[in-house]
Structure 1
Amino acid sequence: MILDCDPGHDDAVAILLVLASPEEIDLLGITCVAGNVPLDLTRKNALKVCELAGHTDVAVYSGCERPLVRVLNTAENVHGQSGLDLPGGGVLPEPSMTLRFQHAVDYIIETLIAEDSGSITLCPTGPLTNIAVAMIRAPEIVPRIREIVLMGGAAINPGNVTPAAEFNIYVDPHAAHVVFASGVPLVMMGLDVTHQVLVTAERIDALRTAGGQVSAAVADLMMFYCRFDLDKYRMEGGPLHDPCVIAYLIDSTLFDLKHVNVEIETNADLTLGQTVADWWKVTDRVPNCHVAYQADDARFFELLNNRLARLP
């Protein structure tokens, strides 16, 4: 699989969960995109997280620095100025790892062409810019993709950046339209399930005691990350969005899904970036996406704690 991300606290946990799960996940590379913070920070943060886990051999690629059409919107209000802020103003150490020279889009295209058709899953946990650009530039890769398991959107829940739209899709709705209209099998881990896997204070304590240095670092990261949702939404904890993608790859029985048609709104001001899901099949549009709507949060956090405890 290729993990396409914009770290971001929850992306960081997703990366660590991948690195802790080699028996289920064959990670070919990590590609970075602008999203939670600008590209120069997302790519640096991916390197930081790989070093934290002791996986300095991971290939990390830098991708697109802005959306296809719109001006970039970022989320420093959630993730801090670095994208991975810690409590008290701390940050993770600067990485000694370096990026691979190749552009992320070129890497995605070349890898899909070089590997057996239908063997590679793409897992975007940020805006879909890199993947959409790859599809536009090299449409021959589209039928070679096994599936795309993404974090983004909301079928039943309201949005989290506008009343209608989830952040990742809102940042680049035109890229999302390309991906959702591509015909590639899609699995959508949206707010409908990510708002069911909340990092509460009790779960942060459990993370801190579950393992070693990495588990403790994740607990610190979650302390900073959760403060936004506690303050703004009065939720019990912070939703752990992006690791849902990885948890699904490891154990799909953690989630219930429904096969529906999902289209992306790219024109209307009020609903720009909405994932319009035909939940009750009120149209004749063909289902194109398996949308997760229920998560087993207890088993999710048991998996997360056990896997992170494998890391140093």
Structure 2
Amino acid sequence: MKHKIILDCDPGVDDAVALMLALGAPESIELVGVTTVAGNVSIDDVTRNARGLLALAGRTDIPVYQGCSRPLMKATGPRASVHGEGGLGNVRLDPTAVPLGDKHAVDFIIETVMANPGEITLCPIGPMTNVALAMVKEPRLAENLREIVFMGGAAFSPGNSTPAAEFNFYVDPHAAQIMVSSGAKLTMFGLDVTRNVTADQSWYAQLEAMRGEIPPTMARMMQVYAKGDPCMHDPCVIAWLIDSSLFSGVDAYVEVDHSAGISFGRSLAYMTEKHRAGRDINCKIITQADSVAVFDLIAQRLGSLQSS
């Protein structure tokens, strides 16, 4: 089953791996566009990085649209330093071969989804700001999506920005709540699963030894990132679309705490009928992954890419 996706991202090293993984799976994924949102680094940096990654892969045909530079309501917080200078593990890529789209990311999302009802899978792997604004601007968006598969939250485990909150949800919890309450079909890759998807040095050595420019370049990025966070969070979203048998999960009603206090940004999962109190299940929460198989998939698909 082929997925037509919009990748809404904030590259970021693990975002970069997710993007390259999508490009390396043409039998499973048609990447119709990339939208950017401030998160791991600034909006200018994430947009430059997305364009540079597509240029590295020779995919100048895929459009990039710049999105929101700040959260919906809260102040912009500190950036994620684990991604290195500029966001790609201290690697600088030339973006000039990939032009910047002439509209806002929110408008691209709306126009693409509404022109292809029931066909587009939206994959937000950064803060959910663009997604939420698109839903507010076009209230019919959720019902016209095929599904949303996202990286964010921590339903059953501690956060990584605070003890309660995962980074993407903490950056913009108001946006995350708009998304999870939208009625769209949701699949959640939170820290419950992604913090168990890790690789060792032998895997990076395997990438470095591959032919071509892309695998060694990605290995250099990931090794800088792994010093602060060894988990490959965002690629899990794309790996699921390629081979869902590598993962398993549970159904729940999910909401996001956006009230001021120590639980700000926390994702809550209501598992039982008693706790749901009449509320319908709105999300599949992925809780387990075959980490070795996920990294084998990443290595195989990165190795299949040819640089520009």
After TM superposition, the score normalised by the length of structure 1 is: 0.93
Amino acid at match of 1:67: P
Q: Could you tell me which residue of structure 1 aligns to residue 70 of structure 2? A: 66
Q: Could you tell me which residue of structure 2 aligns to residue 307 of structure 1? A: 301
Q: Could you tell me which residue of structure 2 aligns to residue 232 of structure 1? A: none
Q: Could you tell me which residue of structure 1 aligns to residue 46 of structure 2? A: 42
Q: Contact 1:260 / 1:281 at 8 angstroms: preserved in 2?
A: no
Q: Could you tell me which residue of structure 2 aligns to residue 96 of structure 1? A: 97
Deviation at 1:81, TM superposition (A): 3.1
Distance, in Å, in 2 between the alignment partners of 1:309 and 1:125 is: 23
Amino acid at match of 2:269: A
Answer with 197-206 or 143-152: which moved more: 197-206
SS in 2 for 1:126: coil
Tell me the alpha carbon deviations over residues 43-101 of structure 1, each in whole angstroms, 9 at most, x when there is no partner. 00000111111111110000111110011224342112301133xxx533453322011
Amino acid at match of 2:67: G
> How much identity, in percent, do the aligned residues show?
47
Distance, in Å, in 1 between the alignment partners of 2:271 and 2:203 is: 32
Q: Could you tell me which residue of structure 2 aligns to residue 109 of structure 1? A: 110
Q: Write the mapping of 1:1-312 to structure 2, written as runs, cut at 5 A.
A: 1-86=5-90, 90-115=91-116, 117-229=117-229, 238-283=230-275, 284=277, 285-312=279-306
Q: Contact 1:155 / 1:279 at 8 angstroms: preserved in 2?
A: no
Tell me the alpha carbon deviations over residues 248-306 of structure 1, each in whole angstroms, 9 at most, x when there is no partner. 00001111110111110010410111110123554123211100000001111111111
Q: Contact 2:63 / 2:98 at 8 angstroms: preserved in 1?
A: no
Q: Contact 1:210 / 1:305 at 8 angstroms: preserved in 2?
A: no
SS in 2 for 1:26: strand
SS in 2 for 1:61: strand
Q: Contact 1:197 / 1:239 at 8 angstroms: preserved in 2?
A: yes
SS in 1 for 2:85: coil
Answer with 282-291 or 74-83: which moved more: 74-83
Residues 1:209 and 1:280: Cα distance change in structure 2 (over 3 Å):
farther
Deviation at 1:211, TM superposition (A): 4.2
Distance, in Å, in 1 between the alignment partners of 2:261 and 2:199 is: 33
Amino acid at match of 1:227: K
Distance, in Å, in 1 between the alignment partners of 2:9 and 2:78 is: 14
Distance, in Å, in 2 between the alignment partners of 1:241 and 1:68 is: 23
Tell me the alpha carbon deviations over residues 219-269 of structure 1, each in whole angstroms, 9 at most, x when there is no partner. 10011101113xxxxxxxx10010000000000111111011111001041
Deviation at 1:195, TM superposition (A): 0.9
Q: Contact 2:55 / 2:95 at 8 angstroms: preserved in 1?
A: no
Deviation at 1:192, TM superposition (A): 1.1
Distance, in Å, in 2 between the alignment partners of 1:224 and 1:282 is: 45
- In the alignment, structure 2 segments of 5+ residues that lack a partner are none
Distance, in Å, in 2 between the alignment partners of 1:260 and 1:209 is: 43
Residues 1:120 and 1:94: Cα distance change in structure 2 (over 3 Å):
closer
Amino acid at match of 1:91: R
Distance, in Å, in 1 between the alignment partners of 2:271 and 2:165 is: 16
State the number of aligned residues: 300
SS in 2 for 1:44: helix
SS in 2 for 1:92: coil
Distance, in Å, in 2 between the alignment partners of 1:291 and 1:281 is: 16
Amino acid at match of 2:243: D
Tell me the alpha carbon deviations over residues 5-40 of structure 1, each in whole angstroms, 9 at most, x when there is no partner. 000000000110111111100111000011101101
After TM superposition, the score normalised by the length of structure 2 is: 0.94
SS in 1 for 2:87: coil
Q: Contact 1:152 / 1:168 at 8 angstroms: preserved in 2?
A: yes
Distance, in Å, in 1 between the alignment partners of 2:110 and 2:93 is: 32
Q: Contact 1:199 / 1:222 at 8 angstroms: preserved in 2?
A: no
Amino acid at match of 1:279: M
Distance, in Å, in 2 between the alignment partners of 1:210 and 1:252 is: 26
Tell me the alpha carbon deviations over residues 121-178 of structure 1, each in whole angstroms, 9 at most, x when there is no partner. 1000000000100000110222101110000011111000000000001000000010
Residues 1:197 and 1:211: Cα distance change in structure 2 (over 3 Å):
farther
Q: Contact 2:55 / 2:94 at 8 angstroms: preserved in 1?
A: no
